[in-house]
Amino acid sequence: MSMYWQILGCGSAVPLPHHHPSAQLLQVGGKSYLLDCGEGTQVRFKEFGAHGQQVDAIAITHLHGDHVYGLPGLLSSWHLMGRTKPLTLIGPPELESFIRPQLELSRCWLEYPIHFVACTSDPGAQVFEDEAVTIYSHPLKHSIPTGGYKGVTQPGMRRIDAEKARAAGGESCDMRRLQLGLDGPTRPGQTAAH
């Protein structure tokens, strides 16, 4: 499964030229995830040629401005660009009460559903899962409630060297089972294991 990580910004709370606030884009197996959303993140998507509208989930570590002030603008930009794909927002329990009033006051009625997932103080709590990754949250020490995230990729199709497999007596159906990560008897007296 291919993985691509793009640092859109890693700056601190004080803005500097050419040093953008925190935002990282992770692409895994055709899915996209954003970690934090500092100011100007939608512009950074454009600069890198990334397709922000394809983002499946956004995980916010905490509600300091350099990690979250770009989120209302990003959500609004995606709305104006015609996004309809559902979006999961993961973050501190207060994230929804931070975002909803800004969208309502600006009369930005999103045409795509947002599912909010509040992180708890339980270390290792699963907060998101799809076909590509499972995301777990971990509370971190900071001046306000903060969470770190661990993403674990889902098992994908294994790559099989067909020539070597055939030379070892493998058949097409065996190779397919191995690609899928299945164990078990394939022929009397033989077992396929990955």
Domain boundaries, the chain: 3-153, 162-192
- The mean pLDDT of 159-177, rounded to a whole number, is 70
C-beta separation of 3 from 37 below 8 A: no
φ and ψ at residue 11, rounded to 5 degrees:
-75, 170
| pLDDT band of 162, cuts 50, 70, 90 | confident
Q: Which helix (H) or strand (E) holds 7?
A: strand 3-9
User: What CATH class is the domain 3-153?
Assistant: alpha beta
What was the pLDDT predicted at 152? 92
Is the predicted pLDDT of residue 76 greater than 80, yes or no?
Answer: yes
Q: Which residues are catalytic?
A: 66
Residue bearing tokens 């209302």: 72
pTM as predicted: 0.80
What was the pLDDT predicted at 138? 94
pLDDT in tens, 106-146: 999 999 999 999 998 889 999 999 999 999 999 999 998 88
What is the percent of the chain where pLDDT is above 90?
Answer: 61
What was the pLDDT predicted at 63? 94
Q: What is the mean pLDDT of the chain?
A: 87
C-beta separation of 37 from 6 below 8 A: no
List beta partners, residue 125: 137
- The mean pLDDT of 57-75, rounded to a whole number, is 96
